[in-house]
Amino acid sequence: MIPDRIIEQGTLTAAGGRASVEVRLPWYRALPASCISGAKLAVDGVEAPAASLRWQMNGEEFTFAEMKTNTAQWWFPTDSAVLSGDLEMDAGEHEVRVDLELYIPYIIMSDENSADSVLHIEEHDTKTMTARQVEEARA
Pick the range with the lowest mean pLDDT from 17-26, 32-41, 85-94, 99-108: 99-108
Alpha helices in the chain (DSSP H): 64-67
- Does residue 119 or residue 61 have the better pLDDT? 61
Q: What is the pLDDT of residues 28-55, one digit of tens each?
A: 899 999 999 999 999 999 999 999 999 9
Pick the range with the lowest mean pLDDT from 1-5, 19-23, 39-43, 128-132: 1-5
Q: Which amino acid is at 17?
A: G
Q: Assess contact for 38 and 120: CB atoms under 8 A.
A: no
How large is the average pLDDT for residues 23-30? 92
Which long-range contacts (C-beta less than 8 Å, at least 24 apart) are formed by 55-59? 55/81, 55/82, 55/83, 56/81, 56/82, 56/83, 56/84, 57/33, 57/81, 57/82
| pLDDT at residue 112, as a whole number | 67
